[in-house]
Amino acid sequence: MPPRKSSPLDNVLGRLDDLDQQNLAILVQRLARERRLLETVFNTIREGIMVIGRRGIIDYANSAAANLLGFQLKEVGRAVLWKQVPELARTLHLADDGALHELSGISREVEISYPAERVLHIYIVPLNIEDPSPRDESERSHAVILSDITEEKESARQMIESEKVQSIIDLSAGVAHELGNPLNSITIHLQLARKQLARLENDARKEKIERALSVCGDEVARLDGIIKHFLEAVRPMDPDFADLDLVSVLEESLEFLGQELTDAGLSVDVELDSALPTVLGDRGQIKQVFYNIIKNARDATPTCGSIRIRTRSDDQFAYVQIGDNGQGIDQNDMPKIFRPYFTTKKSGNGLGMMVVQRIMRAHGGRIGIDSQKGKGTVVTLQFPQKERRVRLLGAASE
């Protein structure tokens, strides 16, 4: 075995008996400064760092390790890693006395529930500490590195989920497009059948056939509308930006939907700010946003209920709030609102709010939803004012 190289500190410590009191005090101060420096460095590191004995007793821990595992630094020297992270102990080969069998590097991903639900990457490696005094191999120390990978795991999960959704959407869009061809063919043949039917003499059979053709035509038109709406949802058009007065768009939307709201027995309470700042937007797409949200409010609100519409602005944004006193949204359903095909309606297709979110994002806006089960829902649309939107577009092109 090659001789161990001595460090400057070893040389100094080897001459302790030769140091006078003044030099000994200087040495102690120097060691104290170096220890404080090292502790500061280790406590600044985001990863948890620990030193454990082979039986898992934590001999050293930085602040990050204590925070991640939920123990106090004053417990160092008594706390046992296997008790702090029992999920880790179950994955390792431990002796009956809690000692590690494996002396090579150990790497694990472990989900913990205390002090918070996290996913940790834990790396354990033996420490090769040069020590002139003989030591029992069973007391060999190990370094433990803890990394919080919760956000990475969640990001990866969301990316996989997004890819799944996108693949389903792409497949569905292809199917929807292919369905359009036979529907067009059916429409043409229905028109030919009507022309042939018009040449026949009037009798009972002719009237029945006309009714049947009318039903078929209506159903084909309904299917064609569903397909068009679906394709618009999954393959949105780029906005045609122009100066837009949100108040006038709201008024047009309410005028168009007014009869539907009246027939549903709903009252509409509107307070629109005539001085609402101009925004940049696509009139047709923003109108679609208002249609979808107001229709959702209509469907969620019982007869004799009300829909409230308010507008306001601040230095940077214009806001439109559409609220109702309907059934509200269950808190478990809140994260699913913008997912494709999610709906609580019996006849809904689950695409309306996804369309709303896409349009708002394309306009540099945001959408917020506040809801309480049994009391109603308020949807807040935030639009950047024209000047802010122009600055953002300019910065993006630089």
Contact 300, 377 (CB under 8 A): yes
**How many CB atoms are located within 10 Å of the residue 155 CB?**
11
Q: What are phi and psi of 153, to 5 degrees?
A: -65, -45
- The residues, ordered by sequence, that sit 6+ positions from 352 with a Cβ below 8 Å of its Cβ are 292, 295, 296
Confidence (pLDDT) at 1? 45
Confidence (pLDDT) at 50? 93
Domains in the chain, CATH or no CATH each: 45-148 (3.30.450.20), 155-234 (1.10.287.130), 242-397 (3.30.565.10)
- The residues, ordered by sequence, that sit 6+ positions from 236 with a Cβ below 8 Å of its Cβ are 285, 355, 358, 359, 362
Q: Which amino acid is at 261?
A: L
How far is residue 61 CA from its own chain's centroid?
33
Q: What is the pTM of this model?
A: 0.49
Strand partners, 307: 268, 324
146-197, pLDDT tens digit by residue?
999 998 888 887 787 777 667 766 776 677 777 777 888 888 888 888 888 8
Give the separation between CA 131 and CA 134, rounded to whole angstroms. Answer: 7
Angle at 290 between CA 284 and CA 294, to 5 degrees: 145
Contact 225, 183 (CB under 8 A): no
Burial 70-91 (b: 16+ CB within 10 A, else e): ebeeeebeebbbbebbeebbee
Provide the token pair at 98: 């809690």
Report the candidate in 87, 81, 39, 90 with the shortest Cα–Cα distance to residue 58.
Answer: 81
Q: Which residues of the chain have pLDDT under 50?
A: 1, 132, 134
- The residues, ordered by sequence, that sit 6+ positions from 235 with a Cβ below 8 Å of its Cβ are 173
Contact 364, 389 (CB under 8 A): yes
Contact 56, 80 (CB under 8 A): yes
Give the separation between CA 207 and CA 191, rounded to whole angstroms. Answer: 16
Q: Please write down the HEC assignment for all residues of the chain.
A: CCCCCCCHHHHHHHCHHHCCHHHHHHHHHHHHHHHHHHHHHHHHCCCEEEEECCCCEEEEECHHHHHHHCCCHHHCCCCEHHHHCHHHHCCCCECCCCCECCCCCEEEEEEECCCCCEEEEEEEEECCCCCCCCCCHHHCCEEEEEEECHHHHHHHHHHHHHHHHHHHHHHHHHHHHHHHHHHHHHHHHHHHHHHHHHCCCCCHHHHHHHHHHHHHHHHHHHHHHHHHHHHHHHCCCCCCCEEECHHHHHHHHHHHHHHHHHHCCCEEEEECCCCCCCEEECHHHHHHHHHHHHHHHHHHCCCCCEEEEEEEECCCEEEEEEEECCCCCCCCCHHHCCCCCCCCCCCCCCCHHHHHHHHHHHCCCEEEEEEECCCEEEEEEEEEEHHHHHHHHHHHHC
